[in-house]
Structure 1
């Protein structure tokens, strides 16, 4: 069985800007918890006992280490064995996700099979079944594949060319003509590496590639393995998988998992219809009862699937549909929130509307603001009567009252 997992965590997460301008992409709030916690839980709940984080850069390291530490907090929260640990890449510069794996394997002297998972994905699959498939095929490397139906979305990924026995012959990166490829299976960035992989990744040939910066799994390492005739296989029995590296896919993943996950997986303490509440303190429970009472009396409207965090206060005549409201958020009278995520300790003023948007942490939105299809960075102040459509606002910005903007980036 798989005991070791490596999660490369490099790069600046620019696709998620402005949410990741000052925050590691692994620590982005996702269903009212850091994203990395979902990944680690999925691995640890299926027997992985040591998680190695390939952190690169000060912000990544500080954000992740300050929350996870050595893993004791998560171990206690999820009742994991005492042997569970979280460890970190030493301060050695890496030149790609495969190089991060090399550094960790060498530093911690890992010679066992390893599962590699990217830090901006959420997924669910049977890891034991993946392992069995890997062993049965005597694979050097097994790549988890996911079928994608949308032709336009397929163009953003590497599409696998596979034999009937699931052996991979190659990948077509970001294909323009999907019909010519004949496959809809994409590389998820989840890899199961055999014991022999360490010898390969530390070989003189690969180290020469490193000098040229050629240490990306998808672009450099996997093509080399296939050229050399290594047994690279594809495994496609995955329940769900999302690359949450863009705001659009982030929202899609949030809304899907809001419906998919069990109350236990969402850490829900109480629910009413499709409305799920988090928090077990007496104050949180009192606020839950108040919200449910208002909804029962039609003083507020809660529709679709809604997740409400700890210590959330909601005023009268509020309408919330298919949304996530994070901890310590205040929503004043008459506000409307649809298809959106409002992160923790934010404030939504009276009569304001938020549609299909992501509101960062500690954001204050004034009265009668209208925000649609936009991303608001952390610690922003949005003035009264503003109109923000399809725009991005970087952290710590103040938007004056009465301002109207569309298709803009405020940095």
Structure 2
């Protein structure tokens, strides 16, 4: 059985949920504190033993390539100024793995993006990590899937439970049998209509796939959103050759939408020793422990002070300001 040493990270999307910030900057380069989101994904792959990573990009994504490339002038300046800690961080991002790039020429969905990397993968099993999900775990989420693949020799899809009200946002599995955290799957359903999901086990952006998936993607018809859906191709492959699902351990952070991005930034900041105490004090000063004290001006102060000002439109949206306000406030209460 071939070892999994290659991974695909799709990064060709337009990032429309984060406009206008993503008009000129790739969504994948938006930072959680001092690292772009895509670096967290690459770090997970590297920790899992992945050696070669292909990032599928699109137009205006050159910043991703620059980030993982060396910048000798910057390194020289940091060295001359004695900023060894920053120098180490800058060099670290260039040494994580061998990173290659291929462009998805048309926006035809996740399945099409994966197909774009076929020549790079060849006839080897490989991992897929989506950039909308950062996962913190002792054993990297994708490594947990690799371990299952090495035991079974079959493709493995990472899943986690979600509230039933959210199942329409995800690919969902219909489990057949369960062995610990591992499932045999009867069916994979891409974004089922609300109230029709066969379970609340959602596909969560981590896959280990055998190269046969490319044959299914090649003949896959358009599905949800008039796009080539990876889940649909996996469902067809599952009909011919068992595909497993694995409920991986770890804390998942959804950075693919604005509110999740805000929550993630706050949680990571509170985990940072250099800012935890001051940030906690600041939050308490703003009166977030007493929800009734929250008002628009305080929310605006929070956005400015934590450098998350471009989320203000969402937080204070005319259509549902109270719901968004309460959601963010509850997040503060949960993590304090």
Instruction: Compute the TM-score of the two structures, normalised by the length of structure 2.
Output: 0.70
Task: State the Cα deviation string for residues 26-47 of structure 1 (Å, max 9, x = none).
Answer: 1112122211111111111221
SS at match of 2:240: coil
Higher relative contact order at CA 8 Å, sep ≥6: structure 1 or structure 2? 2
1:336 positional shift: 5.9
User: Which of 142, 156, 159 in structure 2 is aligned with 1:142?
Assistant: 156
Equivalent residue, structure 2, for 1:111: 123
Matches within 5 A, 1:135-174: 135-139=150-154, 141-148=155-162, 150-165=163-178, 166-172=183-189, 173-174=191-192
Whether 2:251 is the aligned partner of 1:240: answer: yes
* Deviations 1:71-95 (CA, angstroms, capped at 9, x unpaired): 99979316957xx311100474452
Q: Distance in 2 between matches of 1:15 and 1:187?
A: 20
Counterpart of 2:135 in structure 1 is 123
How far 1:235 sits from its partner (Å)? 0.8
Q: Secondary structure at the match of 2:256?
A: coil
- Tell me the CA shift for residue 24 of structure 1: 1.0
Q: Distance in 2 between matches of 1:91 and 1:46?
A: 26
Cα drift, residue 128 of structure 1:
3.5
Higher strand share: 1
Aligned residues: CA RMSD: 3.9
Answer with 1 or 2: which has the greater Rg: 1
Cα separation, partners in 2 of 1:20 and 1:193, compared to 1, 3 Å: same
Structure 2 counterpart SS, 1:271: coil
Aligned-residue offset at 1:68: 1.9
8 Å contact from structure 1 (residues 373, 390) kept in 2: no
Aligned length: 287
Gaps of 5+ in 2: 73-87, 290-296, 319-323, 325-336
1:52 to 1:233, Cα distance in 2 relative to 1, 3 A: same
Residue of structure 2 in register with 1:312 after alignment: none
The offset of 1:97, in angstroms, is 1.9
**Cα gap change, 1:129 to 1:92, in 2 (>3 Å):** same
Provide the secondary structure at the position in 2 that maps to 1:21. coil
1:102 and 2:102 aligned? no
Structure 1 unaligned blocks of 5 or more: 264-269, 276-301, 305-318, 323-334, 340-351, 364-370, 377-387, 392-406
Residue matched to 1:310: none
1:53 to 43, 52, 55: 55
For 1:214 and 1:51, locate their aligned partners in 2 and report how far apart those are by CA, in whole Å: 24
Deviations 1:117-144 (A, max 9, x none): 11222114344432221233331x2110
Partner of 1:231: 242
Measure, in 2, the Cα distance between the counterparts of 1:243 and 1:6: 19
Contact 1:24 1:64 in 2 (8 A): yes
The equivalent of 1:16 in structure 2 is 18
Please point out which of 180, 193, 196 is paired with 2:212: 196
Distance 1:34 1:185, change over 3 A: same
Listed one character per residue, the Cα deviations across residues 278-330 of structure 1 (whole Å, up to 9, x for unaligned) are xxxxxxxxxxxxxxxxxxxxxxxx353xxxxxxxxxxxxxx6228xxxxxxxx
Structure 1 residues 22 and 13, CA gap change in structure 2 (3 angstroms): same
**Residues 8 and 128 of structure 1, relative CA distance in 2, 3 Å threshold:** closer
Instruction: Note if contact 1:8-1:55 (Cα within 8 Å) is conserved in structure 2.
Output: yes
Please tell me whether residue 271 in structure 1 is matched to residue 274 in structure 2.
yes
Determine the structure 2 residue equivalent to 1:308: none
Distance 1:143 1:356 in 2: 42
Looking at structure 2, the residues matched to 136 and 77 of structure 1 have their Cα atoms a distance apart, in angstroms, of: 32
Structure that is richer in helix per residue: 2
In structure 1, distance between residues paired with 2:70 and 2:216: 29
Q: Partners of 2:103 and 2:52 in 1: how far apart?
A: 16
Residue deviations 1:351-376, cap 9 Å, x none? Answer: x744596569999xxxxxxx897149
Quick one: distance in 1 between partners of 2:142 and 2:28? 21
Q: Distance in 2 between matches of 1:255 and 1:95?
A: 34
Is the CA contact (8 Å cut-off) linking 1:147 and 1:184 kept in structure 2? yes
